[in-house]
Structure 1
């Protein structure tokens, strides 16, 4: 039972407004999170000309603590970089194969001959990040989590898996605060660590904007799949932090829609 649960877990001053039907029509297709749908939320915080503008769809859900799943890799990577466990994005990373043996169900991207931070982050290689958490250690992990005010700050369920539908919970609004503080280095971490992580998070770079993001997904207690897409966009107007999460019946359904929905909201807001 635990093996199957872990398997699904790994797949693994502002103005508040809501989207109207006019905003929905501006999207590239009809895939949007709409007000009143308790299965999803989208939060956007834009910093423009030293002012902050916030949009929240389904405010109650936006404040709901949920498992971060692989979105925790943003924090995990930042801690490992700041501690010097990882020197740069190209450093070879490994894991204890006796403690985390290769499983037949692992996707091919979890069975590459070699990983660095860029590939481990991109492919959400869980064993690498469980190893990083172990290398960071319980005392330092808790200290960093407290310093970052990350979610409920609870790592009690286990050092190497507390973010996989275990004790750690974080809301979409808390994700925004974490991303904003990380972006501006409010934690006063090593600047190279912050810059390296931004480099690793970059997923879309063109003449109009740069989009930095991380996915997250896993099976939750009601049997559905929770999906996350969080990050920030830099464009000519400023920087825009976003956090989207939703629940779908299956992993394939969630995966097919996760980025699409988030991108549609960013398009509707005129950010990308």
Structure 2
């Protein structure tokens, strides 16, 4: 109880100091925050709009590009594959992320990597939407809602279809909430089994930048839903982790690739890689 009070007190300090919408940090304890216009300039220089929020764990420091968009809730798109994987493992829909196979349904889709059989590990690497839609259908609405509530994920609203709610439906999450969820997974303190958290941390894609490792999951909404791109995860630089969330308006095709380019640039700007 004392820890909860301390965290909420930290939230109040942050809100008073910068108006950063850090209300979602119910499960971490940032004590300082900064708004850096140089991070916002990264997006304008790229010809678009977006936001970046980083939580430097060892410094108890939140660094954000703005005080508005960082608190605006959007559809999570394929970043929901992280909780979806956890729930699949917890419910037994997936027993082994390397051995359980989801057979390709034979429907040829524009992304070639989706047109084959997948395990959970290969599906998250390819961000194979059809596989995760099948996983969600097997989980079912009742169990999905139970676990989304348990994980305190976003607005917890799975309306709009069991295989669509994170793509076109009613689920919403803001960058600060993304960081809160990712940091709990990183620390292994989510209210699910240690095994499920260990396995999901292991299957999340990584990329090495110098002496740092970035653990990440991307997301992308279609044009009808705003062409919003996400990149969420954490960067390990020695013993100093930084949890991050970025979203960007993908106004041009090049902006899809810029999700990672800008993530690395922002992480570098704040000394996280």
Superposed, 1:226-237 pairs within 5 Å as 226-237=228-239
Q: Verify the 8 A CA contact 1:218 1:226 in the aligned structure 2.
A: yes
Q: Verify the 8 A CA contact 2:35 2:67 in the aligned structure 1.
A: no
| Match of residue 16 from structure 2 | none
Q: Verify the 8 A CA contact 1:44 1:240 in the aligned structure 2.
A: yes
What are the superposed Cα offsets for residues 24-62 of structure 1, whole Å, 9 maximum, x if unpaired? 9xxxxxx82369x992110000111xx411001122101
Q: Verify the 8 A CA contact 1:46 1:52 in the aligned structure 2.
A: yes
| Match of residue 41 from structure 1 | 51
Structure with higher helix content? 2
Query: In 2, distance between residues paired with 1:127 and 1:163?
Result: 13
Q: What SS is found at the alignment partner of 1:55?
A: strand
C-alpha displacement of 1:109: 0.3
C-alpha displacement of 1:66: 0.3
Q: Verify the 8 A CA contact 2:151 2:190 in the aligned structure 1.
A: yes
Query: In 1, distance between residues paired with 2:120 and 2:93?
Result: 11
Q: What SS is found at the alignment partner of 2:180?
A: helix
TM-score for both structures, normalised by structure 2:
0.81
Does the C-alpha gap of structure 1 residues 267 and 207 become closer, same or farther in structure 2, counting only changes over 3 Å?
A: closer
| Match of residue 7 from structure 1 | none
Query: In 1, distance between residues paired with 2:188 and 2:239?
Result: 20
Unaligned 5+ segments in structure 1 are 1-12, 25-30
Query: In 1, distance between residues paired with 2:101 and 2:67?
Result: 39
Query: In 2, distance between residues paired with 1:203 and 1:92?
Result: 22
Q: Verify the 8 A CA contact 2:212 2:237 in the aligned structure 1.
A: yes
C-alpha displacement of 1:65: 0.8
- The alignment yields a C-alpha RMSD, in angstroms, of 2.4
What are the superposed Cα offsets for residues 38-95 of structure 1, whole Å, 9 maximum, x if unpaired? 92110000111xx411001122101111010000000100111122222232123325
What are the superposed Cα offsets for residues 168-195 of structure 1, whole Å, 9 maximum, x if unpaired? 1110111001111122232232212111
Q: Verify the 8 A CA contact 1:152 1:168 in the aligned structure 2.
A: yes
Q: Verify the 8 A CA contact 2:56 2:272 in the aligned structure 1.
A: no
| Match of residue 19 from structure 1 | 36
With CA pairs under 8 Å and 6+ residues apart, which has the higher RCO, 1 or 2? Answer: 1
Q: What SS is found at the alignment partner of 1:33?
A: helix
C-alpha displacement of 1:253: 2.5
C-alpha displacement of 1:117: 1.2
Does the C-alpha gap of structure 1 residues 122 and 60 become closer, same or farther in structure 2, counting only changes over 3 Å?
A: same
TM-score for both structures, normalised by structure 1:
0.82
Query: In 2, distance between residues paired with 1:86 and 1:125?
Result: 15
Superposed, 1:1-272 pairs within 5 Å as 13-21=30-38, 32-33=42-43, 39-48=49-58, 51-94=59-102, 97=105, 102-103=107-108, 105-112=109-116, 114-205=117-208, 208-219=211-222, 221=224, 224-250=226-252, 252-272=253-273
C-alpha displacement of 1:146: 0.5
What are the superposed Cα offsets for residues 72-130 of structure 1, whole Å, 9 maximum, x if unpaired? 00010011112222223212332583xxx614x42110112x21111100111111100
Query: In 1, distance between residues paired with 2:129 and 2:222?
Result: 15
Query: In 2, distance between residues paired with 1:88 and 1:152?
Result: 29
| Match of residue 10 from structure 1 | none
Query: In 1, distance between residues paired with 2:64 and 2:223?
Result: 23
